[in-house]
Chains A and B, each alone.
Chain A
Amino acid sequence: MRKTVFIGLLVCLVTLSVPCRAQRGVFLTPEQFHQQAFAGQGENQILWLDGDQLQQAQRILGHRFPGIRTRYVAGGTRTAWIFDEIGKTHPITIGVVVEASEIVQVKILEYRESRGGEVRYDSFTRQFIGGSLIEKQPEPKLDATIDGITGATLSVRAVKKVATLALYFHSLTPVAYSDTLAEGSLP
């Protein structure tokens, strides 16, 4: 009798959960992400990183940045970045769009951890919108209040690191330089 109830309950759960969004898997391809950000107007670019910049990236991530350059897409005053960052044991593919030195979008493109998929919900990612870089020593920090997801601390931390890194890399691009010139804040 107990087994029957148990199996019945399981079948109900699986049936009920059909409308639930996937917790793991690919949610957005890089092409779709760029299409959303630039409507096909973006151009592929490469940002080469010198020793100091790689060191700064390492401070932001808490580990070595993989490579000596990074690819991004630029269009108008926007740049879009995609990075893989490990949450607990698996890399999370995270996309960040920056415009005028502020985050305008954060998207989880692929989530591979077995728990913590809540970081893909809009209720979490929209907290990053408007976030900017605040100059601090030894490394710049994300100027935004981000409430975490309990039980997904490491995934939350990974998204925050990538958002900070995207803002920092944006500040190194010609797009950011022309922004600064337009604002007239350079001597």
Chain B
Amino acid sequence: MNDIGSLVVRLLDETTKTSVGLFAPELVLSGTIVLMLAFRVLPGLNRIPTQWVALLGAFGSFALALCQFDRLVTGEIPPTSFFTGMLMFDQLGTFFRMFLSLFLILTITLTVLTGIPDRDDAADFYTLLIGSTIGMMIMASANHLLMMFMGVEMTSVPSYAMVGFLKGRKKSSEAALKYVVYGAGAAGVMLYGISLLAGLTGTGSMPDMAQRLGMIVSQNAGIGDATVRTILLAGLMVLVGLAFKLSIFPFHFWCPDAFEGAAAEVAGFLSVASKAGAFALLVRFGLSFTSTSAAVSEVGFSFGIGLGVLAAATATFGNLSAYGQTNIKRMLAYSTIAHAGYMLMAVSALLVLAHGKQVGLDTQGEARRCIEGLIYYLFVYLFMNLGAFAIVSLIRNQIFSEEIEDYNGLATQCPVLCFGMLLCVFSLVGLPPMGGFWAKLVIFSAVFKATAVHWVMWGVLGAGAINTVFSLFYYIRILKAMYIKSRPAGARSVRYDLFPGGVFVLLICLPILGLGILPQGFTDKFHNIADALLTQIGR
């Protein structure tokens, strides 16, 4: 009895003294949801515009995450696990929490500008938006297989509803249904994989996993060993769930339909934010196979090679499918798939370098570069993809169309929006001096380093290079329509341009240029994040 009592006391102690404080950004967001819903039912308070409450909450969360990140960097708070080891408080996780709340701010601002949820629906919409952001934040800091599943589900469920938010539209409902069915299937497989892993190791804690795996697998077990096979199978199943969130080939089928059906704002949100969370999780999961046991490392290495092949396939498939699209949101959906492929290349290189045994290679330094590249890519991707979707939604509000051919000759009517699109498109292709180029360069150089470990990575690098050229062909169609074609007579015109939409677009798009011309400060930051993560794992 006494034991349980002291346990409860310790638990309460930990929760109140450390965990709640570290969980503050998420708590602020949760509070915002409660406030929004309360304001809606309380008489008198329902006059308060919901979007401002949401925006305030997002700012609060961002500020808290920023403070935490600063204190982590200076070493004021050491990285630690909290909520009894369920979540991890470290630079990587906190950076992504900051990233996600920044993204939330930008998305809410965009919805205010485009007015996509009307007054009655606003509270619902922002609840879903913020709810799914909390899920992503949990994904980014998950330290336990259970939290991994929780995070994925918490992200997914609100996303399903958001995709179907345009209630009157058939396409929207169809997209949402497809998304739900697919998501449920993927989550089921993932859960099965998690239970296999937990059953094998007797723990769900990711840092402990490698050690436990090392205990159950004999030192010189090869791929034929039954336990190793089970581990591989379990890992693959977990990857299915993550691949679904990342829209990795062959789990990408939901993506184009969902994006076409959803409002452009929602599509922009899903394309960037859920990727950020899922990639952070994938990195953590992949590195949890880091072990002194050769057999376990071998498993991680195989995952790296497998992910490399998947990445090449995803990038190629996404780019090739984008050719035929006439709807810009569908095209951007396929482009999202392709970009998931490029980013996956970084993770693949990371696993190959971290688990491969190569004499004479500074694997620690090179693995750092992979994470650095991945974070940089995601950071640039935030601006360039949100920028593209924001422009699509701002133009949609005026010409009521999302077909590329209806963009013909828009450059003369809305030069600012079209200039923003130009920056986004060139950055998505990866041309200097845009940020997309630098991001791609870091990832390619990481993959290049990984070629020294395994020859398959040459194929991955080649696929990345060829895809860059492929992608130009369809991206440039957007610019061709805007700049080269002339506006047909009688087409709907775009009336206002600079204010307020144009200013917002410039605010998002100019950082793309900045990230390309002066990458120094950010690469330093991301380098440190990667360094901290790898030291913490003990490599």
Do chains A and B interact in one complex? no
